[in-house]
Every structure is written in C-alpha cells, then in structure tokens.
Amino acid sequence: MENNNTVVVAVCGKGGVGKTCISALLTKILCADNNNKVLAIDADPAVGLASSLGITIKKTLDDIRTGLITNIKDEKNIPKKELLATIDYELFEALVERQNLAFLAIGRPETAGCYCKINSFLREIIKEMVPNFDYVIIDGEAGIEQVNRRVMGMVTHLLLVTDTSLKGKNVAETIENVAQRSISYKKKGLILNMMKEMAHLDAFRQKTALPIIGWLPEDDLIRHYDREGTSFFELGPSEAQKALEKIATDFLTPGE
C-alpha cells in the first residue's frame, strides 16, 4: 500500500447509527464519476450493504474459506500453487461487477480453528486487488471486533459514525483507540448521523476529542429506502447525500 494512492475507507461505529447507509451513499457518490474505480467490501455478516446497493450475493469470502478448509481436510497436502489458483478462481466468482463498481462480501466472522495459512492467503489476495481501484469502501461490522482482523489492516481513512447518543460516542472513541494501536491510517474523522437540531452538534463537541468532520440530517427518504431494501442508486435528491458529498470532498482526497 505504500506506493499507491488508493483511498481505503473503513466505515465503523455502533450498530444502528447508520454506517451501512453512509457506506452505500458514499459508494454511490464516488461511482457518479465514471473515472473512479470503486470497490465496496461488505464486512458486516448481516450483508446489509449489498441490499442498499441493489446487489445479489452469490458467494462470500467465508464461503470460499469454508470450501478450502473442507478440501484441505479431504485432500490433505494441496500444493501452494494449486491452492492460490483455486482461491483466485473462487474470488473471481464472488466478485460482483457493475459498471465502475465491484462488490465483495466477507460473510461470517472467521470461525475457530488453526487455518492461519488460508486466512493469510485470503488477506493477501484482497491486498493484491486493492491497488486496482481508486477507492475502497469497507462497511465494517458493528463494534470494534473487526478492527484487529482481516481487511482493516489496509485502511487509509478511518470514518467513524455515530448518532448523538452517549453510547454511540463511546463506541466510536473505543474503535479509534483500538485502531491507533492496531492499524496504520492517514486520516480519521467522525460523522454525526441523523441530526435533528444544531444544538445537538454544539453539545456533542463538548463531549469528545474526536475530530467531527460533518453531520447528516435525519432524512425520511433515506429511512424509507433503507427500510424497503431499495437500492440507493435509485435514490433521488437527498439532504443526507448532499451533506455527505461535501464531507467526502474534504475528507477523501487521494494522496493526503
């Protein structure tokens, strides 16, 4: 990752604060420029990002991993070259492509067991994919568990999301503390989502040292699309999207 300008954004926060909606909106915003090559990674086992982008998942990374474990148990000593070729083929099947967007779902968290080599292979394959894109958006699972695992090691921009609740703030701060020790990123920022009153913003600033890079208003249209599982690519003019466009312009500048 040292010598390429791929912007890798991890969208993290407490469950229910709207991080998947923000991941979907951000993906839509970036894909609006046809010159951008965008990879969206759904790292939440609930795979909500796929629905928000109107994508049908046929295979997840965990499906690939589980199949490889089964084959190794059955066939034992599979040559490394053959194993890599199998992973490459399976990953191609799992990758959904649509115009300038590619999509990959991680699936369930890694299960217990000594499969370090397989996990390492999968991580390396993803790392090899990343430089082929201008932007990578990772919709992380709720909480902090994933910060230490898998795709998070490639992050350049840590995008924290919270509502105005104390619990949401505490989770965002905990994620940032763990990320400082676990991953190397260039920029971090906090978005306040579903804001109802500007007074809440001023009060929130007094409670956290995290850099607040913007806020999104509560948006009934976004809520409707999310509830109905309608693709955000079909979303018309939205106040939340306008606000996120401004945030993205300042925050997601390649090379910073």
Residue 1 resides in a domain: no
- pLDDT tens readout for residues 144-203: 555 545 556 678 999 999 999 999 999 999 999 888 887 788 999 999 999 888 878 888
What domain range includes position 242?
Answer: 7-249
Q: Which CATH number is 85's domain given? A: 3.40.50.300
pLDDT, residue 116, reads: 53
Residue 103 resides in a domain: yes
Identify whether the C-beta of residue 48 lies closer than 8 Å to the C-beta of residue 23.
no
pLDDT, residue 2, reads: 45
- pLDDT tens readout for residues 73-109: 655 566 667 766 777 778 888 899 999 999 998 876 5
Asked if pLDDT for residue 256 goes beyond 70, the answer is: no
Residue 244 resides in a domain: yes
Cite the DSSP H helix spans in the chain: 19-31, 48-52, 61-75, 80-94, 116-129, 166-182, 198-205, 220-228, 239-251
For residues 4 and 21, which has the higher predicted lDDT (pLDDT)? 21
* Residues in the chain, total: 256
Asked if pLDDT for residue 212 goes beyond 90, the answer is: yes
Residue 255 resides in a domain: no
Residue 201 resides in a domain: yes
pLDDT, residue 115, reads: 47
Question: What's this model's pTM, rounded to 2 decimal places?
Answer: 0.87
Asked if pLDDT for residue 224 goes beyond 90, the answer is: no
Residue 256 resides in a domain: no
Task: Determine the average pLDDT of the residues in 203-229.
Answer: 90
- The rounded mean pLDDT for the chain is 83
- Classify 133 in phi/psi space as left (phi over 0), alpha (psi -120 to 50) or beta: beta
Residue 159 resides in a domain: yes
For residues 61 and 169, which has the higher predicted lDDT (pLDDT)? 169
Secondary structure (3-state) at 74 = helix
Asked if pLDDT for residue 129 goes beyond 70, the answer is: yes
pLDDT, residue 192, reads: 95
Roughly what angle, to the nearest 10 degrees, separates helices 220-228 and 19-31?
100
Task: Determine the average pLDDT of the residues in 42-54.
Answer: 86
The 8-class DSSP code of residue 111 comes to P
Residue 180 resides in a domain: yes
- pLDDT tens readout for residues 131-146: 999 999 999 876 655 5
Number of domains in the chain: 1
pLDDT, residue 114, reads: 45
Which among 12, 20, 40, 44 is positioned nearest to 108, based on CA atoms? 44
